Amino acid sequence: MKLYITTGTEHQVIQNIQAGNLDLGIVTESIEDGPAEKDIRYERLYTEQYDFVVSEKHTLAKRKTLEWSNLKDVPIILLSRESRIRRQIEARFEEANVIPNVTMELENEEAVETMINISSGAGFLAKRRIDNSRLIGLSVGDKPITVNVAAVYRNSYTPRSIREFLRICNHSLYGQGCLGTPDDPDLKQ
């Protein structure tokens, strides 16, 4: 079995699966929107929370919570406009009537994390990434930003290697408490 790993936005990954260039992808799926593609199967792996993040040197580092209006003039590093999490973040700013001061747009969380550390900047990252870094995570507003993380693959055919990979992922995530129990009815699709 060959394993080829690539990164990209949800849209790019799904396009590659639809074109037959990839067999499997791991993407975020908006909890509000749900899956949009009819020929793609989503298998939820876990739910991820995103928080506002600053470096230890940032002026907001001593705060615990913020309102969206507090971010009006803060230079922010975000993921690409094509990403679902970026669209959710922008929707929250819009709901609060705040125009974000986006100073940098990057393709993946690793790059966002690195730039926040280097520039003493601010942005949004997955809570699990914050917990494993020296960055400071802050809640914004009263409604957390969450996405489902899902494995995606074509509906038409699922190779045995993909099914086995997903079985291992699910088994591992159950053990970490990410998915509840193997009998959870929400996980049987």
Assessment of whether the complete model's pTM goes beyond 0.75: yes
pLDDT of residue 161: 83
Tens of pLDDT, residues 114-150? 999 887 789 999 998 888 888 999 999 999 998 888 8
Nearest Cα to Cα of residue 93 among 112, 58, 66: 66
pLDDT of residue 36: 64
Mean pLDDT of the chain: 83
Tens of pLDDT, residues 16-67? 998 989 888 998 875 555 556 778 888 888 888 999 999 988 999 999 889 9
Here the tokens at position 78 are 């975000």
Residue percentage of the chain with pLDDT more than 70: 86
Beta strands in 64-144 (DSSP E): 65-66, 75-79, 101-106, 122-126, 136-140
Instruction: Give me the phi and psi of 102, to 5 degrees please.
Output: -80, 115
